[in-house]
Amino acid sequence: MATSSIFTNVKITDRESAEMFISALEKASEAPKRVPTTKVSAPLRDKEAIRALFAKRLGNK
């Protein structure tokens, strides 16, 4: 979805449109949160672990 679509002006002219719009907003807010499909590992913070990773990638075991 394009980012510009969230800045679109909505003009509600009758009660039925207003109710449909509010219903859609409520339904969207109740949607379940996204559950990650893969585990994300914490970033490396230890200097030696980072050096070991780069050494492994460069083949300098």
Q: Which pTM does this prediction carry?
A: 0.42
Rounded Cα gap, residues 15 and 23, in angstroms: 12
Rounded Cα gap, residues 51 and 57, in angstroms: 10
In tens, the pLDDT along 12-61 reads 899 999 999 999 889 888 877 778 788 888 888 889 988 888 888 777 65
Place 7 in a pLDDT band, splitting at 50, 70 and 90.
confident
The residues, any chain, with a CB within 8 Å of residue 32's CB and separated by 6 or more, are: none
User: Can you tell me which residue has the tokens 């949607």?
Assistant: 31
Place 2 in a pLDDT band, splitting at 50, 70 and 90.
low
Q: How high is the pLDDT of residue 60?
A: 60
Backbone φ and ψ of 34, nearest 5°: -70, 135
